[in-house]
A and B are shown apart, each in its own frame.
Chain A
Amino acid sequence: MAKQFMKGNDAIIVGALAAGCRAYYGYPITPASEVAHAAALHFPALGGVFIQAESEVSAINMVYGTAGMGIRTMTASSSPGFSLKQEGLSYCAGAELPCVVVNIVRGGPGLGNIAPEQADYFQITKGGGHGNYRLIALAPNGAQEMCDLTMKAFELADKYRNPACIMADGITGQMMEVVDIPKGVTDLPDHSEWSVTGEPETSGNLVSSIVLDPHDLEDHNLKLDAKYKEIMANEVIFEEYKTEDADLIVVAYGVVSRIVYSTVDMARKQGLKVGLLRPITLWPFPTEVIARLAGTASQFLAVELSTGQMVEDVQLAVNGKVPVHFYGRCGGVVPGSKELLDEFTKIMEGVTQS
């Protein structure tokens, strides 16, 4: 298989090209700009579209345009720019348009800084814009997954006619790893039933999110809700590492899961029974597996680059059965594995004491 050593941010574009994405619309922002740089190089070279839009607002509305034609399209940004895309994402969800939006999350709130954080979790997994909708949210933790989960995001977006989001961070974006370069997808879905392409076959179609009558809009919302329930039932992806016999389950995603993975090994060497549960889809969240693990583990710890966001979903899943602890760093501070090991030890000693 063809391999290349590449940055996560570049791997996103490789995955997008392989997935048949034909148009990229974006606005520069650190640490997501490299995604745009790669797109600017590769999309036109393959006869596709790259536009540096006048703002993230404009970029997401361009995505709305191409997505409404049933053509695979994407945009990428970082936190402040992702905030600007919220209205557009709500429109995409309302009009049921498949598209992919990447958020290389940085430190917030406000201008914050360009260092890695995971504090956009709420915005990404709970809707973000107005109205009843969800984004399908995937959290890669390495360059290969930046590529593969981008392809997966396009597939899920098309399957459910819903925007899908890649949530990553500056480390996963900047880090280089070996990537198996994929082949292009073999077929793309036919969206001519609903899309508006400018060809006579689709001239009877309408792309819109407006539903005037309250009963009709309620029906539309219920239809979306049923779709979201189907996604929750069928599309959860997660990874378990040494969870079978673990007393302490650490829940972490993205770059943090990489650090925890190392720390679990360190802890095991000291005889501490720690395991990692890593959500790969943040929405749908791996609620069931966490509920199951709450039957075997004696406590949980959520580690995040935030002051505590995903931990709420862990608590909901654990549902009071066992204690759920939280350890977070933010502002761009990334905990080292020794720091996490100390935290694990403290928590587990707390158990033996009680």
Chain B
Amino acid sequence: MKTFEKSNGFYQVFERKSGPAKEATHYCPGCGHGNVHKMIAESMEELGLTKRTVFVSPVGCSVFGYYYFDCGNFQAAHGRAAAVATAVKRTNPDAIVISYQGDGDLAAIGTAETIHAANRGENITVFFVNNAIYGMTGGQMAPTTMIGQRSATTPLGRKADIHGNPIRMCEMLATLPAPTYIERVAIGHSKHIMKARKAIKKALRIQAEGKGYSFVEIVSACPTGWKMDPVASRDWLVNDMLKVFPLGVFKDEGDNLDDDSWKRHFEPFDKDKVDVYLDRMKSAVGEVEPTVLPKDLNCKFAGFGGQGILTLGLFLSQIGMRGGHHVSWFPAYGPEMRGGTANCSVNLSTNRIGTPLVDHPNVLVVMNQPSLDLFEKDVVDGGTIIIDSTVVEGTADTKRLNVVTIPASDIADEVGTPKVANVVILGALVAATDAFTPEFCESTLRAIIKKKSLIDMNMEAFRRGYDFVKNS
């Protein structure tokens, strides 16, 4: 049990710690975590950051980081500290956010979070304690375990061809464009320790200056997991580990960056701003102008993709909305869409709408042959079926149904573009059902058609469809 010379970055008494020894840490003698903690606490204090700091503890031996650091503390799920730190920083860019992680946490279960936080250039600091072992769970192999190193899960030593090679995180992360500062240091001899202290402080300063992502890997000892005494541990670390994990700076862009160049923007909730923004989302059709719907419409519109079937449904829906009716629109989605056919269900009702799926329409529009073959039988007795006779050759059962055949695509061509065939159909539908006056539909379409240059053509298309039915 080691007692800190307490920096003000630490609590003076570790109240959150269970048991009687409230002034000592829970780390084993010779453990690297204690040293690293001390350097972080001192750096936070020296830079005047402590009270603005949020320290994210991982799962691992340092899970209890919050026993010690006299700042805001989070405890994160195993491997997810970088994701938690990302969010904290994004929703308070003025906070100083530390993600403190072991090798299992950072380089095994949390590899994805680690790489992507680095790749986004999160303006956080990651302290990575590489002790080549899973300390907390009893000395299993870590991603950084050395070749030949024995652990609880490599009882005969790590073998490259079975377990893979130790991962070098600094080297990997340094291939990414975003990170600002990446260095590997060690808790070895005193010269190593001095460099480690400098690196830790530098990493925090880079964050405080808004200069982006900083990452310091600290090679440290786990005498317990390594089954060595502290002195032998230090020697093995210096003599063996540092051959695989060479110390040095892998990236250092701090001096080339302006302050706050990686600082993100965040605004807290502002009701006025939100209200203005949401109000702008309102429909272009404007206020409801109640109309009388002679009867509920349960429509199915079907055809090829690209014929504007879904838009036809949307146009009718918005006319219905402006008329103050209950409206639902539902597109066939998923694999059905892939075959090149499209269909949607539209309900307009004076009452609340039950199922949005129209299985038995009283209005069916078909703009291709397969849709006629597929859906005609579903139309309720006395229902209306509108057929684009330019595209569809057959006709429907005129005894059972009110059949409207209209060369919609030809009419659309005459108007100027095949794209308005759906609006010709809309005109025909309104004429055949008397659901709305043509003027009401036209003024609604004027409001909702976004490309103003297309309005005249749509108006003509609607009128031609409407008149075709009324005059026939």
**Proximity bits, A75-104, B CB within 8 Å = 1, else 0:** 000000000000110010001000000000
Q: A208, B66: Cβ atoms under 8 Å?
A: yes
Q: A5, B327: Cβ atoms under 8 Å?
A: yes
- Check if B45 is an interface residue, CB within 8 A of chain A: no
Given A14-B281, A65-B87, A91-B77, residue A5 in contact with residue B318 (CB < 8 A): yes
Given A49-B90, A58-B112, A258-B354, residue A65 in contact with residue B74 (CB < 8 A): yes
Min CB distance, A16 to chain B, in Å?
11
Q: A49, B266: Cβ atoms under 8 Å?
A: yes
Given A5-B329, A91-B77, A258-B355, residue A20 in contact with residue B269 (CB < 8 A): yes
A183 to B279, CA, bound (A): 8
Residues of A198-226 whose CB lies within 8 A of B = 198-200, 202-203, 205-210, 212-213
**Proximity bits, B106-138, A CB within 8 Å = 1, else 0:** 000000110110001000000000000000000
Q: How many residues of A contact B (CB 8 A)?
A: 87
Given A23-B91, A198-B97, residue A171 in contact with residue B330 (CB < 8 A): yes
- Check if A307 is an interface residue, CB within 8 A of chain B: no
- Check if B326 is an interface residue, CB within 8 A of chain A: yes
A210 to B77, CA, bound (A): 10
> Which of chain A's residues have a CB closer than 8 A to the CB of B270?
47
Q: A198, B54: Cβ atoms under 8 Å?
A: yes
Given A18-B278, A265-B354, residue A206 in contact with residue B52 (CB < 8 A): no
**Proximity bits, B273-309, A CB within 8 Å = 1, else 0:** 1110111011100001000000000000000000000
Q: A198, B53: Cβ atoms under 8 Å?
A: yes
Residues of A153-211 whose CB lies within 8 A of B = 170-171, 174-178, 181-186, 188, 196-200, 202-203, 205-210
Min CB distance, A168 to chain B, in Å?
13
- Check if A123 is an interface residue, CB within 8 A of chain B: no
Write the chain A residue with the least CB distance to B114: A54
A206 to B269, CA, bound (A): 24
Q: A3, B288: Cβ atoms under 8 Å?
A: yes
Residues of B122-158 whose CB lies within 8 A of A = none
> Which of chain B's residues have a CB closer than 8 A to the CB of A199?
52, 92, 95
Contact of B77 among A2, A3, A88 (CB under 8 A): A88
Write the chain B residue with the least CB distance to A205: B72
Write the chain B residue with the least CB distance to A45: B277
- Check if A71 is an interface residue, CB within 8 A of chain B: yes
Stretch of A291-299, A313-321, A332-340, A346-354 on the interface side: A332-340
Min CB distance, B63 to chain A, in Å?
7
Q: How large is the interface on B (under 10, 10 to 19, 20 to 34, 35 or more residues)?
A: 35 or more
Q: A48, B266: Cβ atoms under 8 Å?
A: yes
Q: A64, B87: Cβ atoms under 8 Å?
A: yes
Given A51-B90, A198-B95, A259-B357, residue A68 in contact with residue B271 (CB < 8 A): no
**Proximity bits, B75-116, A CB within 8 Å = 1, else 0:** 111001001111110111011110000000000000011011
Given A5-B283, A47-B267, residue A61 in contact with residue B54 (CB < 8 A): no
Write the chain B residue with the least CB distance to A185: B271
Q: B83, A58: Cβ atoms under 8 Å?
A: yes
Write the chain A residue with the least CB distance to B324: A178
Q: A61, B83: Cβ atoms under 8 Å?
A: yes
Q: B266, A61: Cβ atoms under 8 Å?
A: no
Contact of A61 among B80, B279, B335 (CB under 8 A): B80
Interface centre among A4, A51, A203 (most CB of B within 10 A): A203
Residues of A15-64 whose CB lies within 8 A of B = 17-18, 20, 22-23, 25, 30-31, 42, 45-49, 51, 53-55, 57-59, 61-64
Given A20-B269, A23-B87, residue A174 in contact with residue B277 (CB < 8 A): no
A185 to B397, CA, bound (A): 55
- Check if B314 is an interface residue, CB within 8 A of chain A: yes
> Which of chain B's residues have a CB closer than 8 A to the CB of A142?
328
Q: A4, B282: Cβ atoms under 8 Å?
A: yes
A91 to B352, CA, bound (A): 41
Q: B321, A178: Cβ atoms under 8 Å?
A: yes
- Check if B227 is an interface residue, CB within 8 A of chain A: no
- Check if B359 is an interface residue, CB within 8 A of chain A: yes
**What is the count of residue pairs linking A and B with beta-carbon distances less than 8 angstroms?**
254
Q: B73, A205: Cβ atoms under 8 Å?
A: yes
- Check if A262 is an interface residue, CB within 8 A of chain B: yes
- Check if A114 is an interface residue, CB within 8 A of chain B: yes
Write the chain A residue with the least CB distance to B346: A176
Write the chain A residue with the least CB distance to B75: A208
A42 to B274, CA, bound (A): 10
Given A58-B83, A175-B330, A184-B274, residue A198 in contact with residue B75 (CB < 8 A): no
Min CB distance, B325 to chain A, in Å?
9
- Check if B453 is an interface residue, CB within 8 A of chain A: no
Given A49-B90, A58-B116, A175-B330, residue A206 in contact with residue B271 (CB < 8 A): no
> Which of chain B's residues have a CB closer than 8 A to the CB of A25?
87
- Check if B340 is an interface residue, CB within 8 A of chain A: no
Write the chain A residue with the least CB distance to B274: A184
- Check if B339 is an interface residue, CB within 8 A of chain A: no
Min CB distance, B291 to chain A, in Å?
14
Q: B269, A188: Cβ atoms under 8 Å?
A: yes
- Check if B469 is an interface residue, CB within 8 A of chain A: no
A49 to B120, CA, bound (A): 14
Min CB distance, B106 to chain A, in Å?
14
- Check if A243 is an interface residue, CB within 8 A of chain B: no
Q: B76, A54: Cβ atoms under 8 Å?
A: no
- Check if A306 is an interface residue, CB within 8 A of chain B: no
- Check if B51 is an interface residue, CB within 8 A of chain A: yes
- Check if A311 is an interface residue, CB within 8 A of chain B: no
A197 to B355, CA, bound (A): 46
Q: A48, B279: Cβ atoms under 8 Å?
A: no
Given A5-B317, A49-B90, residue A202 in contact with residue B77 (CB < 8 A): no
Write the chain B residue with the least CB distance to A213: B18
A2 to B357, CA, bound (A): 26
Q: A53, B83: Cβ atoms under 8 Å?
A: yes
Q: B273, A58: Cβ atoms under 8 Å?
A: no
- Check if B331 is an interface residue, CB within 8 A of chain A: yes
> Which of chain B's residues have a CB closer than 8 A to the CB of A178?
321, 326-327
A115 to B268, CA, bound (A): 37
Q: A196, B86: Cβ atoms under 8 Å?
A: no
Residues of A230-254 whose CB lies within 8 A of B = none
Q: B274, A176: Cβ atoms under 8 Å?
A: no
A87 to B79, CA, bound (A): 12
18 extra interface residue pairs, beta carbon distance < 8 Å, beyond A5-B317, A258-B356: A2-B283, A4-B283, A5-B314, A5-B329, A46-B274, A51-B87, A58-B113, A69-B88, A87-B77, A176-B314, A186-B271, A196-B72, A196-B73, A198-B53, A198-B54, A198-B97, A206-B75, A255-B356
Shortest 10 CB-CB contacts between residues of A and residues of B = A198-B95, A47-B267, A65-B87, A262-B354, A2-B282, A208-B75, A61-B80, A184-B274, A196-B72, A61-B83
Can you offer 21 A-B residue contacts whose CB atoms are under 8 A? A17-B277, A22-B269, A42-B277, A46-B273, A47-B265, A48-B267, A64-B76, A64-B83, A65-B84, A65-B88, A177-B327, A177-B328, A188-B269, A196-B72, A198-B92, A200-B52, A207-B73, A207-B75, A208-B73, A209-B75, A258-B354
A residues at B contact (CB < 8 Å): 2-5, 14, 17-18, 20, 22-23, 25, 30-31, 42, 45-49, 51, 53-55, 57-59, 61-66, 68-69, 71-73, 87-88, 91, 95, 113-115, 142, 170-171, 174-178, 181-186, 188, 196-200, 202-203, 205-210, 212-213, 255, 258-263, 265, 332, 334, 336-338
